[in-house]
Structures are given as C-alpha cells and as structure tokens.
Structure 1
Amino acid sequence: MDNNLINALEANWISLLVSAVILGVLYVLAKKRVGFGTRVLIALGLGLGAGLLFNGFQLDTEGVSTIGKIYVNFIRMLVIPLVFVLVINSIISITNLSYLRKLSVKTIGWFLGTTGIAAVIGLIVAVSMNPGAGLDAAPSSDFVAREVPSFFQVILDQVPSNLFNDAAEGRVVPVLIFALFIAVAIVKVGAKKQEAVQPVKAFVSSATEIMHQVVKFVLRFTPYGVYALIAVMAAKYGWETLEPLAMLILVSYVALALHFVLVFGGLVSFVAKVNPIKFFRKAYPTVAVAFTTRSSFATLPINLEVITKRLRVSPKIASFVAPLGASMNFNGCGGVWPAVVSVFVAEVFGISLSFTDYILIVLVSVISSIGVAGVPGPASISTTVVLTAIGLPLEGIALVVAVEAIIDMGRTAVNATGTTVTALLVADSEGEFDRESFNRDEEDELELNPV
C-alpha cells in the first residue's frame, strides 16, 4: 500500500480518535443533565482547541468533517417541511388579513431598519480602523467572481413553478410563497364554509406538532455537530492564512459585536423593555448554532424553539417571523459586511470615498438585502452590488476570499439573532409576548433529552 495513503489514513484516524473522546465527554455531560446552552458552549471551546491541534500536526479532518456534515444535513432536512407547515399554521390562526398585513409591515420594517443601522456601524468602524492599510492589491488566485442576477431574474427565481422541484433544490422562498397562497386560501374558504377547511386545519395542526417533535430529535445532536463544525473550521484556517488579513477580521468582528450589543441590546432594553443580559443568555443556542453552521436556514429549527420556549413569544408570531427572517434578514451579510468591504477595497486600491459614497453604501445595502432574499450566497451578491454602485473594482472581493468563511460565522450569528430580536419586538407590540414567564424562568431549557 502507498505510504502516502497509509499516512493519510493514520492522520484521519488520529483526528477521529481525539474526536471520539471529546464526543464521549459531551455525551457524559448530557447524561448528567448539564444545560443545553452550556454543552454547546463547551463544544465550541473543545472544537476550537481540537481544530488548532489538528492544524498544528497536519491531521486529516475528513472523518470529523463528515460528522459535521451529517448534522447539517439533518438540519437542512427539516427546513422545507418545517417552513411549509409553520407558515400555514401561523396564518390560518390569523383570521383577520389586515392583521397579517400589519405583521408583515412591522417585521420587514425591523429587518430593513436594522440592516441600515448595521451598514452605518460597519462604515464607522471600518473608516476608523483602516482594515486595508498596507495590503497588496493582488487578488486571491482561487477567486471566482459571482454573477449578479438581474432584478427581474431575482423576482422570477422567487416565484414558485414546481413545488416539488423547488423543495428538492432547497429553494425556501418559493415554498414559503406557495404556503402563503395555501394559508390565505384556507382563511378565505373558512370564512364562508368552516366545515370545508376543518380537516385541513386539523392536518396542519397535527403536522406542526409532529415536526416540532422531529426538530427536538435532531437538535439533541447539536453539541456534537457544533464540535465537529468548529474543529474542521479551525483546522482548515491556520494562523498563516489569517495573519495577512487579521485587521479585516478584527474590524468585521468589532462592527458585528457593536451591532449585536448596542443595536440588539438597545432594542431589547428600550423597545421590548426586557433585561438584555437575560435575553442574550436565553438566545445563546441560536447564536451558537448560527455561528457554527453559517446558515440562517440551518439555524431556523433551533431559533423557533428558542423564540417560543425560552423567549416566550407566541408560536403564531414565531412561525411567521422566523421563516421570513431566515430568507431576508441580513444585518450581518447585507449590512455590516458590504460596508466594511467597500472601505477595505477603497483603501487597498487607493480610492477616496466621499460622504455621498457613504450614504450610497448604506442605501444600496438596504435595497440589495431585499433583492438577495433566497439567492445563494447573499453576502457575496450584496457586496458585489454595493461595490458596483459606488464604482469600486470588483477584483477587491477576491482579496477577502481567504478569510470570508471565518467572518461568515459572525455574520450569520448576527443575522439569526436579528430575527430573534424582531420576533420579540413584534410579539411585544402585538401582546403576544409572555413577559411574566420570560422574567420568571431562570433555567428554561429546550427540553432536549440527552442522546
């Protein structure tokens, strides 16, 4: 047998052996009823440490990566059926269509407003910290430019044409729109013939309960999946990759952290009038899963559990806001990131930005965050649109390829948390937030029994 193959197998088995021990530790913690959020946090720390160890000894992480991919596939398995039944169940509980319109306006308004604020924060931090100072303008060799679809193509892509094909391709927005048609039709028909829609309502209600149970089954694997995902990420990107663009990473995370603490914390404190520390503690599972999976859709199942079980928002509001947020709430990807990259690229290529350019960056960031709803890779598309709008070279995007995955973890965490905050704000304004239970509960776990 080839020596290289033997060495590769040995390297893979060593990483798997280390991972097996760590997964065993997480299992023991679950058996001892250690809190879900605590186990996820421990998994993050162990994954980071193991990943740096794997990187230092050049160990193969294909086996560990498979564990993480299995977890992500399980989560993705849930998204389409979960969105479909939850959207229908949410809307058929709202018999007043004007109330539905009001919810839509409030929800989308918060999404767009916070995205605009995120872009402003990204600009201020980037201008203050100069992330592109002293860098070479030579783009990464593995960069492949993303093609920006036309406005009309984006619209067309969101219109359902074949539900089964859309579901098979993981296109959530068309499925969501189809679910809206079904739900509104049930409300309309039910207003005239209640007996005609009763069997459908009973089926949707039953399907919703069943999907919630399936979600609980899958979410029990979260600490193990989080460990594997963060370990592979840490093993892939060593210090050599991060060092040249360390300032860009720092600027991005400073901006994301400021938005997270100041904007989300401020809205929770002064609009919803709840303790922000308690809110962030309760929302932590959403943040952790979003950070490791780098997918708002993959975070949707646990976000729904967090919003309803820990934040005490009514399922009616959560089932409406959460799927919509996973599709179009891009505080991190569409707000902070395009703003930071715009300043970074301008500095690297020696281009001065005017105050008018800054205003344009914010406006285009908000507008593009609407246009990329449901488009794969929304951060890349939004950034391309913003750079094009202010006349900056698109080659600049190639400079950030090496570290974008690292930054995407923080971006997705902010996106998902923004949806959680919006659900709380909308619920509070509509009297669908159980403030007493929120304040009373100290240890309101997600009722996930250990695996």
Structure 2
Amino acid sequence: MENNLVSAFQNNWITLLVSAVIIAALYYLAKKRVGFGTRVLLALGLGLVAGIIFNKFELQFEGVGTIGSIYISLIRMIVIPLVFVLVINSIISITNIAFLKKIGIKTVSWFLATTGVAAIIGLLVAVALNPAGSFETTSPEGFEAREVPSFFQVILDQVPSNPINEAATGKVLPVLIFAIFIAIAIVKVGAKKPDAVQPVKALFASLTEVLHQVVKFVLRFTPYGVYALIAVMAARYGLETLKPLGMLIIVTYIALILHFVLVFGGLISFVAKLNPLRFFKKAYPTIAVAFTTRSSYATLPINLEVITKRLGVSPKVASFVAPLGATMNFNGCGGVWPAVVAVFVSHIYGIPLGVTEYILIVLVSVISSIGVAGVPGPASISTTVVLTAVGLPLEGLALVVAVESLIDMGRTAVNATGTTVTSVLVAQAEGELDRDVFNSNNNDELELSPA
C-alpha cells in the first residue's frame, strides 16, 4: 500500500507541484481582496493552459483531478440539505397559498417556453450550418445506447417512497417533492394552530441561516476547484480531440450563445424591463461555476447567492425557483442539444428531415424536459427520446461521445442562467424584485471571506 502511494505521487508530482503554485497564487489574490468573479475567471484560464501543457507532455493528472473531485464532493454534500431546508423555509414564509400557486405556474411555464425556443434555435442553426460537414461515421467500440425509461416510469420514480434513502442516493426531485408536502402541511396546520408550528418555523429559519454559512465556507474553494476541473478536462482531451468534431462543437456553441444573448437578454430587457448587460455581469459567478462544474446541482448554492444578493430577487421566490430549476430547467441539455444532434445524425446517415419532423423535435424536446427531471444524464436521455421520436438511429449518439463533455460545459451554463432569468421574471411579475439591489454596483463580491 505504501509503495503504491509513493508511486502515485511520483507519477503526479509535476502536475501537483504546478497546481500547488497556481493554487497558492489564487489564494494570494484572495488575501489581496481580488474579486471572486475575477479569481474564478483567472482560475479557468490557468486551468486551460495548464491542462493543455499536461496533455502535450503526457503528464499524469490524477492528483489534480482529486482536487476537483473534492470540490464537487463538498458541493454535493450541501445540495440535498440545502434544497430540503430552503424549499420548506420558502413555502412556510408564504402565508398566501394563491401566491405559491401563481409562482409555481409561472416558473414551470417559463422553463418549458424557453426550452421550446432553445430547441427552435438549435434546429435553425444546425440546418443553416450543417454540423456534420464531411464527417465519416465511426462508432466507438462497445458503445451502447442508454435505455430510455417510459414516461410513466419516470413519473413514478420521482414520487418519494423513502425520502431518507432517496436523499442518500442524491435523488433531488423526490426530496424536493417531500419538502413541498412538509411545507404545505406546516402552512395548513399553522392556519388553525399558529402556536403548534411556531417551533418548527423557528427551526427551519435557523437551519437556513446555518446552511447559508456552510455554503459560504464551500464556495470559498470555488476558484481552486474550477482550476482543477478545467485542467483535468484539457489534459484528458487536449486540442487534437476537437478537430474531427470541430463543426459540431462550433454549431452547438453558436446556438447556445444565440439563445443566451437573444432569448435571455431579450426577456430581461423587454419582460423584466432591466439592463441585460448589468444582468449578465451580475450573473457571471453562476455562469462561470456552471460552465466549469458542468452541474446544475453544483451551481445551485452560488446561484442562490447571486439571485438574492446581486440581482435583488426575494428569498422566498429564489428559494422556490432555483432548486426547481436545477431539477427541471434544461434549455441547453433538453432544448438546443437534442435539436442539433438530430440534424447532425440525419446528415450523417442521409436521412432527410421535413417540417413535420422539425415540429416533432421541438415538441418532444419540451415534453422530455419534464420527463427526465431528476434523471441522471438528462442530455443523453432527452437526445435519445428525440432521436427515437423522429426515427433516427440511436447509434448516432456514439458519434458525439468524444466531445459531449466539452459541449456539456456550455449546455450547463445555459441551463443555470435560464434558472436565474426565470427567477428574475417571476420576482418582477410578483413585485418581489428589489430594483435598487439589481441596479447597485455590488458586482464582484458574494460576501465570501478569502480562503
């Protein structure tokens, strides 16, 4: 065992030494009060450069990967208790049940509408630019298409039967539903016997404050985690991997950026009546963390901080919309990506798509975004459902496996930002948006002490 540990360190010592220097530099910048967003951006750039160098010289990077894995583990540690406590605290703070129904309907409606628009944008860009190019079909050995559960099975899987077990296995949606039941029960009992539920309300209010502090502790490690995750990504794939499927990557990112700028920017401008440039600047930490972690759940804690403290959304709206968005808002994974892949696969196999198929792609993308809520790998499941619906070979998924991780960074950034946008739209519609906070200049810090 001891020899194995020594050998592992010797194989990784160069990358670990380089990483230690970079992490020390980031720590120094934190001590000098350099802004959180600036440090995350710098960590992203340094990780990309370091990873390309590691790849070029074929250096071992498992040790650096451990740093990123520790950060992701810490984030996962707080997601379940955070969702459970915040959803309950949010709902019990709303004494008006009609208000709760209104924000629920508006939230889900915005999620589905923006996913549908995302699918349309993905189709238009893919049809115009042809992501297949001159690509030749070669399926990776051993590739097997994922089994698609039936819609009714997916629904059944989300109904909480053993909340403790589901929390232990990281199933967020059943925990969220269980929390909603508990919260509504507290509100109902409180309407008749206020004194009976007062201790419970005080407990969840206290737990909310404690968890916010835990979140601050974890988020202080974000720049270091971002560096490690990006470095490993670049070291594993390098630049050579991008060349054969370069057009698919370019087309997908064009569609994601168009949705990001036109749809999100348009909604903030014309529906919320706010400055979109200010919004994107304030939402930058959410975008950066989503891009690097590739996880809406991992982005949830920092997104809550951004939504409430930088954008001025009331906590009772943010605590309802953000956890739900991390579970079922898939503008990138369920909207843009399945549409682009469908066009890509149709070109690869020479199967023409007509207007009927295009309409079906959009409708199925929206419906599947509901069906895959809480299912691991929503992009793969949504894409499989869409390809099946329009009669395209599932083997086409094998062609995008090599670059899906790289594209997933942009998809997740769009997913998380869509949740942020929806929070602002719902808050604005319900008079729960503090415009003074939104228009203030608190653009860099999230009240995180340096670490």
Q: Same fold (TM over 0.5)?
A: yes
CA distance in 1, matches of 2:54, 2:198: 57
The percent identity for this pair of structures is: 75
Q: Secondary structure at the match of 2:245?
A: helix
Deviation at residue 89 of structure 1 after TM alignment: 0.5
In structure 2, what is the equivalent of residue 346 of structure 1?
346
Paired AA for residue 74 in structure 1:
L
1:102 aligns with 2:102: yes
In structure 2, what is the equivalent of residue 111 of structure 1?
111
Cα deviation, 1:214-250, whole Å, max 9, x if unaligned, reads 0000000000000000000010112222111000000
**Cα distance change of structure 1 residues 160 and 442 upon mapping to structure 2, 3 Å threshold:** closer
Report if the CA contact (8 A) 2:137-2:348 is conserved: yes
CA distance in 2, matches of 1:142, 1:239: 24
Cα deviation, 1:268-314, whole Å, max 9, x if unaligned, reads 11111111111111101101111111110111000000101111110
CA distance in 2, matches of 1:5, 1:202: 48
Paired AA for residue 187 in structure 1:
V
Deviation at residue 142 of structure 1 after TM alignment: 4.5
CA distance in 1, matches of 2:45, 2:123: 31
Paired AA for residue 180 in structure 2:
L
Report if the CA contact (8 A) 1:8-1:60 is conserved: no
In structure 2, what is the equivalent of residue 278 of structure 1?
278
In structure 1, what is the equivalent of residue 294 of structure 2?
294
Report if the CA contact (8 A) 1:310-1:444 is conserved: no
Report if the CA contact (8 A) 1:143-1:401 is conserved: no
Paired AA for residue 327 in structure 1:
T
1:261 aligns with 2:261: yes
Deviation at residue 144 of structure 1 after TM alignment: 2.6
Cα deviation, 1:126-160, whole Å, max 9, x if unaligned, reads 01111112111221225231100011210111011
Q: Secondary structure at the match of 1:244?
A: coil
Report if the CA contact (8 A) 2:310-2:437 is conserved: no
Map 1:35-74 → 2, pairs under 5 A? 35-74=35-74
Query: Larger deviation: 391-400 or 150-159?
Result: 150-159
Q: Secondary structure at the match of 2:406?
A: helix
In structure 2, what is the equivalent of residue 30 of structure 1?
30
Paired AA for residue 360 in structure 1:
L
1:314 aligns with 2:310: no
What is the aligned-residue RMSD (CA, Å)? 1.4
CA distance in 2, matches of 1:227, 1:86: 29
Q: Secondary structure at the match of 1:55?
A: helix
Q: Secondary structure at the match of 1:440?
A: coil
In structure 2, what is the equivalent of residue 14 of structure 1?
14
Paired AA for residue 230 in structure 2:
I
Cα deviation, 1:343-364, whole Å, max 9, x if unaligned, reads 0000000111101111110000
In structure 1, what is the equivalent of residue 191 of structure 2?
191
Cα deviation, 1:93-149, whole Å, max 9, x if unaligned, reads 111212111111100000000000000000011011111121112212252311000
CA distance in 1, matches of 2:251, 2:27: 37
Tell me the TM-score normalised to structure 1 length: 0.98
Task: Name structure 2 gaps, 5 residues minimum.
Answer: none
1:87 aligns with 2:87: yes
Deviation at residue 444 of structure 1 after TM alignment: 5.4
Report if the CA contact (8 A) 1:85-1:207 is conserved: yes
Task: Work out the number of aligned pairs and report it.
Answer: 449
CA distance in 2, matches of 1:68, 1:144: 28
Cα deviation, 1:195-215, whole Å, max 9, x if unaligned, reads 000000000000000000000
CA distance in 2, matches of 1:139, 1:383: 17
1:376 aligns with 2:372: no
Q: Secondary structure at the match of 2:244?
A: helix
Tell me the TM-score normalised to structure 2 length: 0.98
**Cα distance change of structure 1 residues 229 and 444 upon mapping to structure 2, 3 Å threshold:** closer
Task: Name structure 1 gaps, 5 residues minimum.
Answer: none
**Cα distance change of structure 1 residues 142 and 51 upon mapping to structure 2, 3 Å threshold:** farther
CA distance in 1, matches of 2:39, 2:141: 39
Paired AA for residue 292 in structure 1:
T
CA distance in 2, matches of 1:139, 1:157: 32
Report if the CA contact (8 A) 1:220-1:448 is conserved: yes
Paired AA for residue 109 in structure 2:
G
In structure 2, what is the equivalent of residue 240 of structure 1?
240
In structure 2, what is the equivalent of residue 151 of structure 1?
151
In structure 1, what is the equivalent of residue 173 of structure 2?
173
